[in-house]
Structure 1
């Protein structure tokens, strides 16, 4: 079995060094601020003062249909207009609720984020969409409006629509220090998944476009020095262009490719000045700038990949509407250890994360490289212990060889389908070894930075990436982390549909996780953790509607 090459290309060497540098260890955490002034938190919303505003309709409920039927296209997919665009943006990036506790008030959004810090900004690039000026628009989730950034008179040509994503990395770095780049990429993956699910509600498809970083910066207006002036604290205001995704809907053509995309904005008039994110930061983390530079994409072509052959995912039995589930999605803060998860719900969640040619994995850039290391705690009818879910046939064989070469506990590992007739054989789920509940709880809690939430639910997991293959070039590191975020988005919604709750965990002790599963070398790396359980609700926290300023006076 191969390990990471000794002499990788320069960009790959930078991202691998960054990943190693930002590992948490039992003896020390990755470099971070150490203390926080919550009154000086970076601004969670960016606005463009002076830009023309277009209020979008809150129209998602018009397109509601059962979550369980989401992978199926409706008979009549929605046409692309302001109502359908408003619904997609609302469910992908909009506010889902406002929370308050005493004098504190904060927004929850439909797309999850590490620490609820939300580095991701969204841009709409459109041509010939009814009711929308041609050009680039910034989406303001606080008010559900579009801010016209680069506008130009409509010309002849086909209609098309794309969504661009960027990261304000300082929002994460303010709290998490050098590890923030990892979290930003996980958030981008979650955002891509949220967009794919929102589009599927309308019968739309989302496709990643291969666009060089410099072109993205130009199209989003992020390279405009007059708008983002250089200064001692300019790094807090920087937005890192991340990705461009085409929306496929009735009547829409493909966006311009390559240099044609830049040329499309050549005659546009730019509007608005960005609001400040943080005028007085206390730290700077050069390692984030270095890994961002090394992992940028410079190519304008991409290769299609083949999905593994799997039986179709059965429709979910939940009668809940997709829009309702998307809005109610939360990150659980505490789990009730008295409750366990029905085995059928557990198998359904695992089946849903397998890569099929349907939402959300049709929006994934690369072949699957993420696999699951499971801590099964309280699943009815399954022994507690360590389990493995490979997400590709090749990984099943390679991980079987890698796991347990050092730890003899895994010598008697066995497919779950061999002793449980209810386990779908195509899952490929493997029991590595049974462990008593208390021992497993101690292990799961310790590996996830001593957080109880990893040990009090039904199951938790580590997402294991084929790190050597993914980081053959710099950009592959971003793709690997984004895939982990995409898998996390599936687990979030599947948990809600099952009547429980999920939580992403970014803090874990990297190498101790590998050691717990008997992994040597650097080929396989845990990049994200997740946990699912029955939430305990804090009655002290009040919940308000997402857009109270848009509610009509009922009097």
Structure 2
């Protein structure tokens, strides 16, 4: 293991919550320095986007079955839909004098460290260049105007690029050291949200894995210190290619074309004060990605289409109605058929969102605490998303587990332990009732040795967890229930339950699905018709 691997392992251990103490955090919230949830580039020309999502007829069930509509052309209206249903606002909520926005892409604590960018050639209604998406106003801020034929040629007229970045301080303000993990979860949610929205327009999504971090920073203008000044830095996460999956954009030609670009705008400062978290800076450096070869795309196994969910909704509706549950009623039950259908949508399938974005074999496997699923005995189950991983999972866990195959033949679901685990699920989820009051909860067990060999893949493991979470969010909505991500859990209590004793496998995210209790004290308003 090289130095980066040691730094990674040290951060991973120090950022764990434990029963006798939590990961280092601020200790209290300084409301005077709460970060602005919206990044704005003052002085940048703006292009207003139409609210066109309701014109999209694509059904959610079609997407989850891999049935995409004919590809729409790239223009102002379709790009508006892409952003509205992925990174756009879904509602405003208020309680007393407080008012806050919700978005289609979820975020830990609703803090939204994720920023979205568009890189495109000249399109109808959109000049070629680099744009920042301002979700508050549903518009594009024109960061760079590019008048160079190499820029246009780099896209081959076959697609556009979406950049996703993080502002670590937005999460660190509340969560301290562990915030870096949550930024990676949120990036995964955003990748999946973008993949679903693109598919609803007939477009495929691919992660541009060969892009080095400094290349992403250069293309998105994140390395322009003169444009940020005292404003909080954005760090590059990922580029997504949206369009023809057989094509890859020429990033080097794009970098060269930017040499003569005209840049606009200066970033707003989000907080009047800041707390430095050296561990976040260290893990960011340790997981920096230099140039890699573009991997050969996988051909995942074809699987039967999942059963039709209880609610047959348009994708636009389900994307905007997605919510993170705060409490569960402790009584709602789902059928085993609904449960199996949700899990089927967590398996990689060719050209099916959100898994079409990834290029590597499944490395994260849900370990499920089943509480209230009719037709299934309460207990511990595991969904083995990559069959090749089963012997290694089995070897790493307690030898007394049953490993009894259950459910439909095509579903790699195994029953490990028949037992009422509600108390254990609650304890592991930092004593939160949502771990026990749901229909089921789960921990996401990741093949951690991947990160120890290639530290930049530590980020990818968290992204995969976020992608799984986004699929569960939408599946829960389609089943008539609700879900929520859980970043606060006792890592090693989960490992002790499973019998995991080393770093070959680590739990990186928890999730829960059940009957939500709606807070009637809150008022809701449309996302763009009513402004604060």
Give the TM-score normalised by the residue count of structure 1.
0.91
Q: Which one of 4, 11, 21 corresponds to residue 18 of structure 1?
A: 11
For these two proteins, the number of residue pairs brought into alignment is: 522
Aligned pairs for 1:370-381 (under 5 A) are 370-381=364-375
Q: Which residue of 1 aligns with 2:43?
A: 50
Q: Which residue of 2 aligns with 1:243?
A: 238
Q: Which residue of 2 aligns with 1:355?
A: 348
Distance in 2, Cα, partners of 1:83 & 1:126: 14
Q: Which one of 374, 387, 394 corresponds to residue 388 of structure 2?
A: 394
Q: Which residue of 2 aligns with 1:316?
A: 308
Q: Deviations over 1:132-155 (max 9, x none)?
A: 111101100000000011112363
Q: Deviations over 1:150-189 (max 9, x none)?
A: 1123636343411001000100011110111111111100
Q: Contact 2:105 / 2:190 at 8 angstroms: preserved in 1?
A: yes
Q: Which residue of 2 aligns with 1:223?
A: 223
Q: Deviations over 1:377-407 (max 9, x none)?
A: 00001111111111111111211222113xx
Q: Deviations over 1:293-321 (max 9, x none)?
A: 11111114221253442423235343211
Gaps of 5+ in 2: none
Distance change >3 Å, CA 75–CA 515, structure 1 → 2? closer
Distance in 2, Cα, partners of 1:266 & 1:176: 39
Q: Which one of 427, 431, 456 corresponds to residue 446 of structure 1?
A: 427
Q: Does 1:328 align with 2:309?
A: no
Aligned pairs for 1:158-237 (under 5 A) are 158-159=156-157, 160-209=159-208, 210-229=210-229, 237=232
Q: Deviations over 1:96-155 (max 9, x none)?
A: 000001000000000011110000001100112111111101100000000011112363
Q: Contact 2:187 / 2:463 at 8 angstroms: preserved in 1?
A: yes
Q: Deviations over 1:1-31 (max 9, x none)?
A: xxxxxxx122222212211111111111101
**3-state SS in 2 of match to 1:266:** helix
Distance apart, 1:214 and its partner CA: 0.9
Distance apart, 1:366 and its partner CA: 2.4
Deviates more, 1:154-163 or 1:118-127: 154-163
Distance apart, 1:370 and its partner CA: 0.1
Q: Contact 1:365 / 1:479 at 8 angstroms: preserved in 2?
A: no
Q: Which residue of 2 aligns with 1:126?
A: 120
Q: Contact 2:426 / 2:435 at 8 angstroms: preserved in 1?
A: yes
Distance apart, 1:37 and its partner CA: 2.6
Q: Does 1:93 align with 2:87?
A: yes
Distance in 1, Cα, partners of 2:201 & 2:244: 9
CA RMSD in angstroms, aligned pairs only: 1.7
Q: Deviations over 1:483-502 (max 9, x none)?
A: 01011110000000000001
Q: Contact 2:346 / 2:468 at 8 angstroms: preserved in 1?
A: yes
Q: Which residue of 2 aligns with 1:553?
A: none
Distance change >3 Å, CA 326–CA 523, structure 1 → 2? same
Q: Which residue of 1 aligns with 2:410?
A: 426
Q: Which one of 278, 289, 300 corresponds to residue 286 of structure 1?
A: 278
Distance in 1, Cα, partners of 2:483 & 2:448: 25
Distance change >3 Å, CA 190–CA 425, structure 1 → 2? same
Q: Which one of 108, 113, 123 corresponds to residue 107 of structure 2?
A: 113
Q: Deviations over 1:461-494 (max 9, x none)?
A: 0000000123311111011110010111100000
Q: Contact 2:58 / 2:69 at 8 angstroms: preserved in 1?
A: no
**3-state SS in 2 of match to 1:108:** strand
Q: Contact 2:69 / 2:201 at 8 angstroms: preserved in 1?
A: no
Q: Deviations over 1:485-520 (max 9, x none)?
A: 011110000000000001000010011100011111
Distance in 1, Cα, partners of 2:254 & 2:489: 41
Distance in 2, Cα, partners of 1:18 & 1:168: 19
Give the TM-score normalised by the residue count of structure 2.
0.95
Aligned pairs for 1:17-36 (under 5 A) are 17-36=10-29
Q: Which one of 493, 506, 510 corresponds to residue 512 of structure 1?
A: 493
Gaps of 5+ in 1: 1-7, 417-422, 551-555
Aligned pairs for 1:536-555 (under 5 A) are 536-548=517-529
Q: Contact 2:304 / 2:410 at 8 angstroms: preserved in 1?
A: no
Distance in 2, Cα, partners of 1:430 & 1:82: 47
